[in-house]
């Protein structure tokens, strides 16, 4: 098993990260607890170690399922979770303030059934809280032993710079990772964010590597998302933001990229998902790729895809086909 150093730290993580957004205690969850446990066991048995969740996934039940699934193998796991997304109706039930983060960390530790978190991440930026307050608060978590390393998610290049500067000015703990949307249809982080991470010592954890399933060939141009898919779930939400996310993901330009991917896959006699994951796994600035399987079989297939070696000409074709997504908006929040 090949492990990567996470940013400017001594933490070694697997090239595959197990994303657990689909895990939940409800039998109707995409990956209900019995299947989630099988996924975790298969992931760890294959030698991988980075497991990522968040306090907002499935109303916090993802953390509960993850905690129970890893309890007997806790020392093998690099456990990551996130905070910032609203947890209630109150004004302090969200964001990156000292008030919210302190309560959020204790709640995550309780749900996860552990006394420490390996990688604690700011899920989204918070423009209303001074970054000095956020970084000082996170540093106290590290000094207390409740958290070992710090990361961020969905931050801009400017936000990363400000965060690292704030930590340095205060003699505190900096971020060692950024979790960001990255795939053939979401290359917005390449011009500014990736170089910033490289310069300031953050490893990159790439989420949505299959573009919500579009790059796995699950959706067809002009057709609604198939029942039971993640996009069908989002389409059914009353939120305008959810509809905008689905419409943006299933744009004509993204289908053009998916069509070229399907053509390359057909020529190579490979699964589209293998080609998409192989392209991402070959990117030198990616530390780990966040996979979000619903079944143990899907996990096995995705792990194989990460090791798929694309011919240089195929990589060049996909690079060219997706070039217009470099610098374009990120397609969604993980």
Enumerate the active-site residues. Answer: 57
Beta strand 3-5 with 175-181 is: unpaired
Angle, nearest 10°, between helix axes 252-268 and 272-281?
100
Region at 43 (left for phi over 0; alpha for psi -120 to 50; beta for the rest): alpha
Sign (positive or negative) of CA dihedral 173, 177, 181, 182 = positive
Which residues sit opposite 50 in a β-bridge?
A: 17, 78
Place of tokens 């960390």: 105
User: What's the half-sphere exposure (Cβ side, CA atoms, 13 Å) at 318?
Assistant: 27
* Torsion angle of C-alpha atoms 253, 254, 258, 264, degrees rounded to 10: 60
Provide the 8-state DSSP code for 183.
Answer: B
**Is 47 within 8 Å of 76 (Cβ atoms)?**
no
* Nearest in space to 60 (alpha carbons), one of 120, 107, 115: 107
Residues 6+ apart with CB under 8 A from 169: 132
Which is it for strands 3-5 and 12-14: parallel, antiparallel or unpaired? antiparallel
Residue 101, phi then psi, degrees to nearest 5: -60, -40
């Amino acid at each position: 098993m090949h492990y990567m150093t996470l940013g400017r730290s001594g933490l070694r993580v697997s090239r595959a990260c197990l994303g657990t957004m689909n895990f939940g205690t409800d039998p109707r969850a995409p990956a209900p607890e019995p299947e989630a446990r099988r996924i975790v066991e298969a992931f760890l048995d294959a030698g991988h170690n980075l497991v990522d969740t968040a306090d907002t996934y499935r109303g916090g039940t993802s953390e509960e399922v993850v905690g129970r699934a890893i309890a007997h193998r806790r020392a093998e796991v690099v456990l990551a979770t996130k905070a910032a997304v609203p947890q209630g109706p109150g004004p302090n039930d969200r964001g990156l303030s000292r008030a919210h983060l302190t309560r959020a960390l204790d709640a995550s530790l309780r749900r996860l059934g552990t006394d420490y978190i390996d990688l604690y991440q700011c899920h989204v930026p918070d423009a209303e809280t001074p970054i000095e307050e956020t970084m000082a608060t996170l540093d106290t978590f590290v000094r207390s032993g409740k958290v070992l390393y710090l990361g961020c998610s969905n931050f801009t290049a400017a936000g990363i710079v400000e965060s690292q500067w704030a930590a340095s000015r205060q003699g505190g703990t900096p971020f060692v990772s950024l979790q960001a949307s990255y795939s053939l249809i979401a290359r917005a982080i390449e011009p500014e964010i990736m170089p910033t991470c490289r310069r300031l010592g953050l490893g990159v954890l790439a989420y949505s590597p299959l573009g919500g399933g579009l790059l796995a060939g699950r959706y067809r141009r002009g057709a609604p998302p198939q029942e039971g898919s993640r996009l069908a779930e989002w389409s059914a939400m009353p939120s305008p933001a959810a509809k905008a996310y689905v419409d943006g993901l299933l744009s004509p330009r993204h289908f053009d990229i998916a069509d070229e991917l399907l053509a390359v896959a057909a020529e190579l006699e490979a699964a589209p998902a293998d080609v998409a994951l192989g392209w991402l796994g070959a990117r030198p600035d990616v530390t780990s790729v966040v996979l979000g399987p619903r079944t143990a079989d899907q996990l096995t297939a995705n792990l194989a895809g990460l090791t798929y070696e694309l011919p240089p000409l195929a990589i060049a074709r996909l690079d060219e086909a997706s070039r217009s997504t470099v610098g374009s908006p990120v397609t969604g929040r993980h």
